Homo-oligomer: A and B are copies of this chain.
């Protein structure tokens, strides 16, 4: 997705060869026009996938999931990293290790909002080691629903997340695939579509 790659080149910052900072438009400040284009792109890529519902993870997955859900005409649910006092009944849970934060979060989702047999699109902002995306697929499958695909805004293709998802048989669509992070240069995997 050219518009996204241009934005990453212009406003993304490679903090190291592993860490890409995109807080200018994706996970702190958010560019709503870009997010709308991202929603349209997910809708286009998954238009034949008969999606019933989108599942994402708080917080940075919410804006892209919101726009994709609006475009596709389906509801979305965001899995929680912490339990709230008003969200305790009938949960499915999974443990997700964050390499960035160096901690394990138990993520959860209410069975009331992911129904057996539904075809679910998992959306997340980043795919690196695949921990968050795999945790989300576990929640969806524990609730008896089916993974119709995984949609990622930015994939760090030099990390193993994509391969882990493909190995499990999931369709993965990443809107930008970062091949390499260098201080003054961010390069992308060239994909012929």
The residues of A with any CB-CB pair to B shorter than 8 Å are 15, 19, 21, 23-24, 28-33, 35-36, 58-59, 62-63, 66-67, 69-70, 74-78, 80, 82, 84-87, 100-102, 109-110, 112-113
CA distance A15 to B88 in the complex (A): 12
Distance A82 CA – B101 CA, assembled complex (angstroms): 10
Evaluate contact between B70 and A28: CB separation under 8 angstroms.
no
Listed by A's residue number, 10 A-B pairs whose Cβ atoms lie within 8 Å are A19-B85, A21-B86, A23-B87, A28-B80, A29-B75, A30-B75, A32-B70, A58-B58, A59-B80, A62-B62
A23, B85: Cα distance in complex, Å: 12
Tell me whether chain A's interface is mostly helix, strand or loop, or mixed.
Answer: mixed
**Taking CB as reference atom, which chain B residue is nearest A99?**
B85
In the docked arrangement, what's the CA distance between A78 and B85, Å?
A: 22
Bound-state CA distance A110–B29 (Å) is 9
A78 engages B30 (CB within 8 Å): yes
A75 to chain B: which residues have CB within 8 Å? 29-32
Q: How far apart sit A82 and B86, CA to CA, in the bound complex (Å)?
A: 21
| Known interface pairs A15-B86, A28-B78, A58-B58; A70-B36 also in contact (CB < 8 Å) | yes
User: Which B residues lie within 8 Å of A28 (CB)?
Assistant: 77-78, 80, 87, 109-110, 113
